[in-house]
Every structure is written in structure tokens, then in C-alpha cells.
Chain A
Amino acid sequence: MKIGLALVLSLGVTASLAGQATRPAPRETPRRAPAVPAAPEVTIAITNARVFPVSGQAIERGTVVIRGTKIAAVGAGIPVPSGARVVEAEGKIVTPGWIESATQIGIVEIQSGAEGTDDQSTTDKELSAAFDVVDGFNGESTVIPVTRVEGITRAVVTPSGSGHVLLGQGAMFDLSGAQVPASVVKAPVAMFANLGEAGAASEGGSRASAMLRLREALQDAIDFERHGVAWANAQRRTYARGRLDLEALGPVVRGELPLAINANRASDLLAAMRLADEFHLKLILMGAIEGWRVADQLAARKVPVVIKPLTNIPSFDALGATLENAARLSKAGATLVLSSFDTHNARNLRQEAGNAIANGLDRDAALRAVTLEPARVWGVAERIGSLEAGKDADVVVWSGDPFELTTRAEHVFIAGREVSSDTRQKQLFEKYKTIK
């Protein structure tokens, strides 16, 4: 759900309580800026390409017209508008910009031994659900350019941590390099939590205690929704979590904001689904290494799964790990999103998807799983995810098969602007290309 709507809803709640004393103000900072700030209205026509709009059939010798920040037209035989910059793409492949769905791009610059560069989690035990990646996001991270030159134009940045099963709120950003709020596509996109082995490690040492704490937080959030004013006046029982967390959970228990749960073992995936049923939550499963073992249930309940295809090493949290997880989930009809679950090498999302294909996933399904499907799952499909007139012009021109390791992204457009191929790594290469 878009932040605008969320705001209206949460304001509505506040309004209904108006006059009843001190209900804490809802948190909301409209951080989404007006699309791309004042980009000059440039028209670009990408011509003669094999175009994969994802929303429809592939188009041979197709044209994609970009006007300003938006896609103006997609199809075969479309005339090139006069004055347009032409990108001749004979023999090339054009797809929507890709979406990475589980990364810490922008909130982690250097993971180890570099104080001040890692904002993926909080050490504040009083904070969990309220933790929000947006306030730590740095649009100038060096990770952003190296990622977008590989055709990834948007990323869901997720929190981490271990103090509580609830990790906080993730958000989707564009990889234009802009700062907040201009780079925010949607915030939050989901509340993140750990169950299974990770949940046990986060809270209480057992899968069961993790589930109990999560359930408690949700119950408290529901009570807080109904009796926030009474609570503020100390006329209500105390809650296990503080005001900030309970407020952040409001949209979750109202079924507006998805709860994205990291879990892998089949039993944990089923437990997460039971929890979602109990609280009427919008559930997304992250990791889901044994997802294939409960694929039919996932498909029947329409629970989206975000998986890392290159996962096949058995652990006690996922003895059934297999490279065929993606193919089997897709075959069962589950809503499938592919992700790198990486930060510095989120750029290898293409390798992940290519391997999913090599292990049985349909090619079209693989492309959908990194474009339109994540756009839908994260609630931004009206703006991105496919090449359709009116959508943000996130467009990639590939030298060949985008899943192949030796292919490169020759042109990458984010909201109509072609991104530079420059990266810090490229500068280092140029510096050492010859050794004096």
C-alpha cells in the first residue's frame, strides 16, 4: 500500500480518537518525494530490440519510447518521435529494470570492522518493529552504482538484527543515487521478522518462544489500536513493546502492511501461515528454502515467497535445500520472487536467476520473478515492474540474454534517466590499467 493511503488510514484512526486526550501522534513522515525531481522532458526511443515487456508477449523488433520519467509507448512498428534520442538496439534484448528484494544496499557500506558504516540493525533493545531503514539510507553508497550497472534499478532494503523477532520496516528505493526522500519508492513495504532457527536465535532460544513473542507483539498492537488513548493515560495494561513499536505494527495488524517473515524449514513455513491466518495478516515468506515442500499450500493461500535460488547446502534449518526450489514453487503455482539476499553482490541477481532456469524454472517465470512479481508483492506494480505506457521508465538494454554471465547491461534507465556506467571500481580499474 502506498504511503499516502497508509497515512490517510492512520490519520483516520487518530481523528476518530480526537478529543480523547493524548493519543500519541501517528508516526508518518511522508518521505516519498514527487517522482524524479524536475528531469528535463527528454524523449528516447529504443529501437529494433527484442522487447520483453513482462506484462505481455515478447515483441520482435520492438520499440520502447521513453518520455520524461515515464514509458510512453511499447510495441512493434511504433514511429520514432521527432527529436527523440535513438538507442539502436538491433540484436539486443530489452527488459524492465530488475528489482532486488532483500538487500542492505544503502544501509551497509562495509560490513565488518568499519564503525559507522553499518546501519542494518539496532542495538537498542527497546526498539524492534519501529526500526526503519529509511532514516539510515545513504543514496551515495558505492554499492549503488555497482549494482545498477548490472540492470538492477530498484531494491527492497530490509532491516536485520537479533534483539527481537521483529526486525523493523523495510522500504523500496530506486538506485538512482538520490537521497531520501527522492529515492524512496515506497516506505514501508513490509514489516520484517524472524521465525525458525533465526527466530530462536533472536528471542528465547526456541522456535516456540520466538513465535510466542511475535504473537504477543501482535496482540498488544491490536489492543493498542483499540485502546491507545487509555494506554496513554495509564488506564491499560502495560505492553511488552513500547509505543513506537506498537504504532509501527498498526498497519500490520490492520492487514495493510505485509509481515515478511524469514523462515526456511517446512514446519516453520506452515507455522508462519497459521500465524497469518490467526491474525489475518498479509504474509510474505522470505528465504523459504524448503518452500517446495509446502508449495501447494503456499500456492493455495497465495502467500508470496522470496527465495535465493542458489541455495542447496543442507542445514538443520533446511535439510531439503535444493537448486530446484524455484522451479518447483513455480510449477505449483506459488507467487515467486527471486532475490540475491546479498548487498555488495546483489548485482549477481542475474546469476541467481540464470541458475534457477538451469534448474528447471521457466524463462518467462524467471524474468517475471525479478520484475513484475516483486513489484506486485511489494505493492508498487502500478508504477514499475513491466514495460507499459504510463509506468516509470525503468528500462535495460542488454547485450544479449540477460541471464547469461557474459552479457552486459549496455544502457540502464531509471525513471527515464540513463545512469552512468561509472563506479568507484571502474575508476580503480582505470587507475591501475597500466602500472607505471
Chain B
Amino acid sequence: MQRYLQAATVAALLACLTITTVGAQQTPPSQPPPRPGAPNPATPGERTPTPPETPPRPATPPQPAPQQTGAAPFAPNAYASTYKPFPSRPTVIRNATILTAAGPAIERGSILLQDGKIAAVGQAVSAPPDAAVIDATGKWVTPGIIDTHSHLGVYAAPGIESLQDGNEMTSPNTAEVSAEHSLWPQDPQFDLALAGGVTAMQILPGSANLFGGRGVTVKNVPSRTAEGMKFPGAPYGLKMACGENPKRVYGSRNTAPQTRMGNVAGYRRAWQAAAEYRDSLRRWKASGSDPEKRPARNLQLETLAGVLDGEILVHNHCYRADEMATMINIAKEFGYKITSFHHAVEAYKIRDLLADNNICASMWADWWGFKLEAYDGIRENIALVDQAKGCAIVHSDDPNGEQRLNQEAAKALRAGWEAGFSIERADAVKWLTLNPAKALGIDKVTGSLEPGKNADVVIWSGDPFSVYSRAEQVFIDGALMYDRSDPEKQPRRDFITGLMPQGGAR
């Protein structure tokens, strides 16, 4: 992104970009002006991991998220979601090839969206007389795409210093911060992701720190506030990071951590403190919860204790196989669960370990080589994890890739086919929908096209695994939020209002 900053800011940003960008790199980010030298433009890079396992833990019915750990003498839901579904009308989509993420493809199928939910899906679906009818002959329908690893709103466009809000690089443990408090809902990149069929995403802090802070899952809807986007009932994530980034950021300042073993010591120290904090709260509750005697509130430990209590899901940026194994050991030592590793470039080397421990892997289709811990990236990674009965997820960590996650999945699918696996599109679509929903703890309500689930639906112009296909219409909770053929139905964030030349931003 901002690759080219004013000289004065360059130095300061550099550290940030490197980190941030590091992961992402690859792409010439948004600005291709690239100086050809700069390889990675903008990616906010790797910033966070994701993960839940399959059975996500918190059931996810849309309700106020469990945000506080321990009894709190303060308003527990001060930051609760204020999202309300947009107006919708009953809509039936007919004659489409439907990938439900819950079974085989349905040819010439229909799906009825009613009251914000999926009312019926199948070969024969009856619709109420007042339903809008969409003839989707030749088109394909999938669940809305869900990205476990996004930095929209916290590394917003334009990618300038003023909007670098994703990495609180002031301490290796900033578990007390939350991405929702950086999230700028006017980031125009949300509109672009919507045009790519993305209906929900986890916004994560960056990967500079061992504990980067809380991630927040949002619906991809226009809103004046971050709370207006928050996915009701979704648990928070905790972004953790392994490897090169934390040790580089802090090691270069001659502060801890400077090595991978320093990283691990940092995690363990923090978890020990969190366990003691949790225990002190438990003792306090067991002894009557006298408000006068409540242990002092500690926001950093509160987040970590939330993980130990199973209310907050760990999303762990980690590339190398051996480091992921180490992180699993730490989780066992302190009794928490890693929901998803993120980037997980070497997941294929330990895919059995991931499956055995019920840990998802949020991966790129083909990013590799931008640093040593990404040097062993192979394109079969996603398919290998999938075929090992693991929870494979295609993530972006990049505002460009986030617009084309279906294409990233297509590349991973091709690699799987060439590796000799027979993977159906109807299964590969789970890498984009159901598996990320599991990792975010929202799979009870979205991620597949099944009656009763939220009507988060995309109509594609053709096979979503084709480079030529485009999301034509995108529904969130049954409301038509994007229509490629109708400019009135294409949200435009404030930033580009009156600024974008006509014809830009698409």
C-alpha cells in the first residue's frame, strides 16, 4: 500500500510496512506503480491468524457476544453489535447451479430467501406469490464468502500513514486492544470486497506482537459505526503471532523477544499471568462476589482469560510447521484451544497434527518466498490439509486477494487436482464459506445454504472457480446489498464520495 510515503514518514512506516507487509507481500498491492522494486506493496500483511476448529465452540446464535470474562461491575455490552438486517423481500432464485457447502451441487436448483433466512433450497422450491423471482439460468449460487483474515478498516484505503491502525507496535503483548476500535467503517475496500462476494470477515490486528489484540467479526454492510457492522453473536478472536515478525520488531529494538525462544517465553509468561488472573476471579466468585473485594480489572489479562474460558478464539499467525507444533504444546500446557493457524504456509507438513487437534488452517493459495518462513510454501497446501480431513480455509490477509477469494480457491483446487486428488467444487466451496464460518464461531448461522441459516448468498455469473465469473448479486440476511447491474445497489463509502473520478473504484 503505501509504498511511497513522504520521506519523513518513511522511516517510521518502514518498520510497520515490513511487518505488516511482510506477510502479504506479494502483491503489488494496490499500487502498482510499483516501483518495480517494491515487491509487496501493500499488503497489510500478515497480520493475524484464525481458527477454530470445527466445532466451534461457542454456539453462535446471534446474540450479544460474550465479551467479558468474569463478573464485571461495568456494562458488559458497551461495544455490542447494533447491526440490524437491511430491508428485504422474499426472493426466489431459480435454475441455478447451487453449491450449498452442505452437500452435492444442485443442478437447475432453486433457493428461497425469506425473512432474512434461507427458507428452502433444492430442486423444487415453492415460493410465496409476492416473492421476487430471479431466473439464474447459467449462473451459480454459493453461500457468501467469509474471510477469516482481513484488515479492512484497520489498514484502510488510502494506505497512508493516517490510516495505519492495525499494529499497536508498542509492546509485544497488546491483548488489551481490539480491532473494532481501529475499524474505520468508511474504508472503501469494504465495497470492493462486497463486489467479490464477501459477506462476512474477521478484522484482525497485525502480526507485529506476540498478542496483537482482539479480532472482530463483521458483516460486510455499510454502517456509520463499527458496532453497526459487528456480527451478532460472533465471539471475539485473539490474534497471536509466531516467528519472524515479533522477534524482528522487538529484537531490532533490543527488547524481548529477539528470538523464537524469546517469543515462546513471552507467550508462556502471559498465559501464566492469565491463569492466575482467572483463578483470582474464580476464587472471588466462589467466595460471594463481594464488589468491594473484586480483583482489580486488567484488560489485557481479561482477554487472555477469555481464551482460557473458551469465550475468545485464538487465531494464530504462524508459518513454520515446527512452530505450529510448539504453539499446540503451549496451548496444551495452559489449557486453551487454537482455533486456526493463519498463513500456515507449512501446514501440509503437519496436516495430521492439525487434524488430530481439530485446528483449522487459514491459508493462501500460492504466496511464498517473501521471507524465509514462507520459503517452503507449495500450492498443494490447501488441498493436502483438506484431504487429511482437516479444516482448510482460503484466507486473504490482503485487500486485493480478498476481492477474489473464489479465484484463490480455484488455484488451490487446480493444485489439488494435479496432485491427484478428486475434489469436487461442491467441497472446495467449503474452503471459502463453511470452514471459515467454523473458524469464526458463526457456522451455526451462516457458511452454508441450509434452511434456517442466514440468507447470505451470492449469485455468480458462472462457475465461481472461473477467472471470468463475477459476483452479480450479493445478499446479506436476505437483503440485496450489491447488484453489479445496478449502480444504485453498489455501496460507496464516504471516502470516495465526490473524490473518485467517475468510472473509478471498480
Contacts and interface: CB of A to CB of B under 8 A. Distances in A.
A428 B379 CA distance: 10
Interface in A75-110: 102-104, 108-110
A322 B503 contact: yes
A435 B352 contact: yes
Interface stretch (A49-57, A61-69, A340-348): A340-348
B34 A428 contact: no
Contact of B468 (A161, A170, A354): A354
B41 to A, nearest CB: 8
Contacts of A318: 30-31, 33
Nearest to A204: B7
A117 to B, nearest CB: 9
Interface string A320-345: 11111000100000000000111111
Interface string B436-468: 000000000000000000000000000001111
Given A308-B28, A408-B418, A111 B505 contact: no
Dominant secondary structure of chain B at its interface with chain A: loop
A425 B378 contact: yes
Dominant secondary structure of chain A at its interface with chain B: loop
A317 B504 contact: no
B505 A312 contact: yes
A133 B339 CA distance: 45
Contacts of A140: none
Contact of B4 (A198, A345, A405): A198
B414 A314 contact: no
B483 interface: no
Contact of B370 (A310, A320, A344, A426): A344
B305 interface: no
Chain A contact-residue range equals 35 or more
B239 interface: no
A340 B349 CA distance: 29
Interface stretch (B19-27, B64-72, B132-140): B19-27
Interface string A192-221: 101011101100110000000000000000
B80 interface: no
B506 interface: yes
Contact of B504 (A307, A321, A429): A321
Interface stretch (A28-36, A40-48, A285-293): A285-293
Contacts of A171: none
A357 interface: yes
Nearest to A315: B158
Nearest to A156: B36
A342 B28 contact: yes
Contacts of A341: 28, 32, 34, 36
Interface stretch (B115-123, B201-209, B493-501): B493-501
Given A120-B37, A287-B31, A406 B410 contact: yes
Nearest to A348: B366
A123 B1 CA distance: 22
Contact of B37 (A104, A110, A292, A310): A104
A143 B370 CA distance: 11
Given A104-B37, A111-B25, A322-B503, A406 B417 contact: yes
B371 A308 contact: no
A237 interface: no
Contacts of B160: 315-316
Given A314-B500, A358-B470, A432 B36 contact: no
Of B31, B36, B370, B470, chain A has the most CB atoms within 10 Å of the CB of B36
A287 B32 contact: yes
Interface in B356-375: 366-372, 375
Contact of B376 (A143, A315, A404, A428): A428
Contacts of A342: 26-28, 39
Interface in B405-428: 407, 410-411, 413-414, 417-419
Given A314-B504, A324-B503, A351-B407, A405 B378 contact: no
Nearest to A309: B32
A205 B8 contact: yes
Interface in B464-506: 465-470, 495-496, 499-501, 503-506
Given A205-B8, A315-B157, A428 B378 contact: yes
Interface in A289-303: 289-290, 292-293
B36 A102 contact: yes
Given A104-B37, A320-B501, A425 B377 contact: yes
B407 A287 contact: no
Contact of B371 (A113, A161, A263, A288): A113
Given A102-B36, A111-B370, A425-B378, A313 B506 contact: no
Contacts of B7: 200-201, 204-205
Contacts of A408: 414, 418
Given A351-B407, A355-B407, 4 more contacts: A321-B31, A322-B503, A324-B503, A405-B467
30 contacts: A104-B37, A111-B369, A111-B370, A160-B36, A196-B4, A196-B33, A262-B35, A287-B35, A308-B32, A310-B400, A312-B192, A313-B42, A314-B505, A315-B2, A316-B158, A317-B4, A317-B33, A319-B500, A320-B505, A324-B503, A340-B28, A344-B369, A351-B467, A358-B470, A404-B467, A404-B468, A425-B378, A428-B376, A429-B380, A429-B419
Interface of A: 102-104, 108-114, 120-121, 142-143, 158-162, 167, 170, 192, 194, 196-198, 200-201, 204-205, 262-264, 286-290, 292-293, 307-308, 310-324, 328, 340-345, 347-348, 351, 354-355, 357-358, 403-408, 425-426, 428-429, 432-433, 435
